[in-house]
Amino acid sequence: MPDTNGIDILEQLHARDRMPQVIVITGAAELLDELSPRLAAIGVAAVIRKPFLFAEVDAALARLR
């Protein structure tokens, strides 16, 4: 996506009331402090940092059910 990123797309979906439940998996841990307020504002259900354990994904999915 040359002109946008995943968070921009999520913000657009949220603005249109079409926001699905989203789990963000990221390798950019150094950006999470900066991005956390944006992610919380649009209702991201969970953020998982790479490397991750599959148990973390299972736990996040269980919270969505």
Q: Strand (E) positions, 1-65?
A: 23-26, 46-49
Residue 43 resides in a domain: yes
Domain residue limits at 40 = 6-64
Residue 42 resides in a domain: yes
Residue 1 resides in a domain: no
pLDDT for position 19: 84
pLDDT for position 1: 64
Distance from C-alpha of 44 to C-alpha of 3, rounded to nearest angstrom = 22
In the numeric block, the tokens 């307020």 are attached to 37
What is the number of structural domains in the chain? Answer: 1
pTM for the full model?
0.80
Residue 11 resides in a domain: yes
In the numeric block, the tokens 């998996």 are attached to 25
Q: State yes or no: pLDDT of 61 exceeds 90.
A: yes
pLDDT, tens digit, for every residue of 13-52?
999 998 889 999 998 888 888 899 999 999 999 999 999 9
Residue 44 resides in a domain: yes
Distance from C-alpha of 37 to C-alpha of 57, rounded to nearest angstrom = 21
Nearest to 47 by CA among 22, 30, 64, 65: 22
